Amino acid sequence: MSVNKDKFVLVQNKFEDVDKIETQSLTFWQDAWRRLRKNKGAMFGLAMIFVLIIFAIAAPMEPFVPNNADGTPFSYKKAPVLFDEEGNEIAKEDISFVPPRIPGIEKLGIFDGFTVIERGSWDILIGNLPKTTEWDALKSPLKRKDLIAALGIPYHPFEINFIDMFKKDGVNFAKVKVLATGEIVELPYADLISEFTRFQDGTFEYVSSEVDDKGVEMIKINADYYEIQNIKNLYFWFGTDKLALDVWTRLWTGVRVSLLIALASMVLDFSMGIVYGTVAGFYAGTIIDTIMMRFTEIIGSIPMLVFMIIMISLIDPIETFISGIFPNITYTTVRLLIIIVAMSLTGWIGVSRVVRAQILKLRDQEFILASRTLGASKIRLMQKHLFPNIIGQLVVMMTFTIPGAIYYEAFLTFIGMGLPIPMASLGVLLRDGYNSIQTIPAMLLIPSFIMSLLMLSINLLANGLRDALDPRMR
């Protein structure tokens, strides 16, 4: 094969080009950003953080949040006031504790106001009888006949077992087995139930039925809570809690509060840790350093709970003190501040250790020595040489602190030392959700998911930052 000679051009040797840098000169941060951008995980994390922050800021505000009847947006601490079609206020009971329901998405079979629950057959067929002595007497096992007569139903729930439910000619039929005779009967569901049950015809889909070890039939149904509570015209996007507070509003307010607490305690940790660590690092090897380091061990041994209890007991003087500086401080804010301070009580120690170790390492390096020989002051040394060299690692540490702080707040809430009432945070929502796991698992799953997502995103970003800023760790 032949090659055309014209395609080759002789490149001249240009001596003056040897020292020329072809690529653009990059600062430390530009370089880090370039590397970070390549990290898909970190970019995903960063994007998610932005999305969550935007939600946290915007979602509890108009126009992104549903409105009360008077036009004001739902609040995280007050039950919504809503009117039915006749213009009467809907009772708080009716809008309390309903599952998530989002318009549009509900057609996909999620967030549709349904939740799978397990209930005894009595609950499904008879429900809660009025609290009168006559009805109480009828609950006795010996009066089964009288009870079904009084309710006008064909069978006592403990005398039949469900086999299946199906629709025939638009009517819901139940297929049940009569225990006494063993025969299998099909009859319209509506005939089977008392007027007192919440689970009227058409309010649920039958899932399965099981007789447990104790001989009690538990029926699993997919219940339409909005139909049961008769509020089919309403949408609570993430449901409501037992106090009828809107979870959507509470969740995003909670994310906001959790993030705020985490950021505040991070700032506290790092401002204290950096100063302390720098001083200790500078005096390393001397008695000052030893005392300072022992001091951190002692602070580290203070039990955080004890500290919090003491702070809460001193809340009045603290409030008076702070209101001297910032008037109009509220009790809630002071309680919040106490939590933040308690969280930072030991948090800064780790930071100061790292800073100290880094300074120790850098102190003996040649460029510091050179600068010092040239007469640089201590301040200049710190500003120009030490600090820029540890900033990368600090940024990484800071990022890793945030998920820790978010978790810590949730932990405090779980042991009953959490936020002032009625504030919402991820921890508060998790705890409430944990209590509702039997009926509406979404109450736990949604905040869990958001919290995990938030922590995951920040961790991913932190990982990426570490790789970008601290190349040795790659």
Report the site for other proteins in 338-377 (rule: CB under 8 A): none
Among 30, 208, 222, 332, binds other proteins (CB under 8 A): 332
* Among candidate residues 99, 65, 98, 70, the one with its CA nearest the CA of residue 82: 70
Pairing assessment for the beta strands 204-211 and 114-120 based on DSSP bridges: unpaired
> Both tokens of residue 244?
């009828």
Q: Which stretch binds other proteins (CB under 8 A): 15-23, 63-71, 296-304, 383-391?
A: 296-304
- Exposure string over 358-386, b if 16+ CB within 10 A, otherwise e: bbbebbeeeebeebeeeebeeeebbeebb
Among 28, 83, 321, 331, binds other proteins (CB under 8 A): 331
Neighbours of 70 (CB within 10 A): 8
Among 3, 11, 180, 415, binds other proteins (CB under 8 A): 415
* 438 binding other proteins? (CB under 8 A): yes
Q: How far apart, in whole angstroms, are the C-alpha atoms of residue 125 and residue 119? A: 10
Nearer to other proteins, 293 or 381 (CB): 293
* 210 binding other proteins? (CB under 8 A): no
* 448 binding other proteins? (CB under 8 A): yes
Count of chain residues binding other proteins (CB under 8 A) = 77
Q: What part of residues 233-292 is at the interface with other proteins (CB under 8 A)? A: 242-243, 245
Q: How far apart, in whole angstroms, are the C-alpha atoms of residue 270 and residue 311? A: 22
Beta bridge partners of 184: 177
CB 82 within 8 A of CB 95: yes
The helices-and-strands tally (H runs, E runs) of the chain is 17, 6
Among 436, 446, 468, 469, binds other proteins (CB under 8 A): 436
Q: How far is CA 91 from CA 95, 197, 231, 292, 391, in A?
A: 7, 19, 11, 61, 56
Dihedral angle sign, alpha carbons of residues 144, 147, 151, 152:
positive
| Residue 65: CB minimum distance to other proteins, A | 18
| Residue 439: CB minimum distance to other proteins, A | 5
Among 105, 110, 305, 369, binds other proteins (CB under 8 A): 305
Among 294, 361, 378, 384, binds other proteins (CB under 8 A): 294
Nearer to other proteins, 128 or 383 (CB): 128
| Residue 43: CB minimum distance to other proteins, A | 14
* 130 binding other proteins? (CB under 8 A): no
Q: Which stretch binds other proteins (CB under 8 A): 47-55, 105-113, 308-316, 378-386?
A: 308-316
* 120 binding other proteins? (CB under 8 A): yes
Strand arrangement, sheet containing 217-224: 114-120, 217-224, 204-211
* 93 binding other proteins? (CB under 8 A): yes
* 150 binding other proteins? (CB under 8 A): no
* 313 binding other proteins? (CB under 8 A): yes
Nearer to other proteins, 148 or 444 (CB): 444
- Segment (H or E) for 425: none
CB 163 within 8 A of CB 209: yes
Dihedral angle sign, alpha carbons of residues 386, 389, 395, 400:
negative
Q: Which stretch binds other proteins (CB under 8 A): 51-59, 180-188, 299-307, 361-369?
A: 299-307
Nearer to other proteins, 351 or 444 (CB): 444
Q: How far apart, in whole angstroms, are the C-alpha atoms of residue 390 and residue 281? A: 13
* 146 binding other proteins? (CB under 8 A): no
Q: What part of residues 24-63 is at the interface with other proteins (CB under 8 A)? A: 41
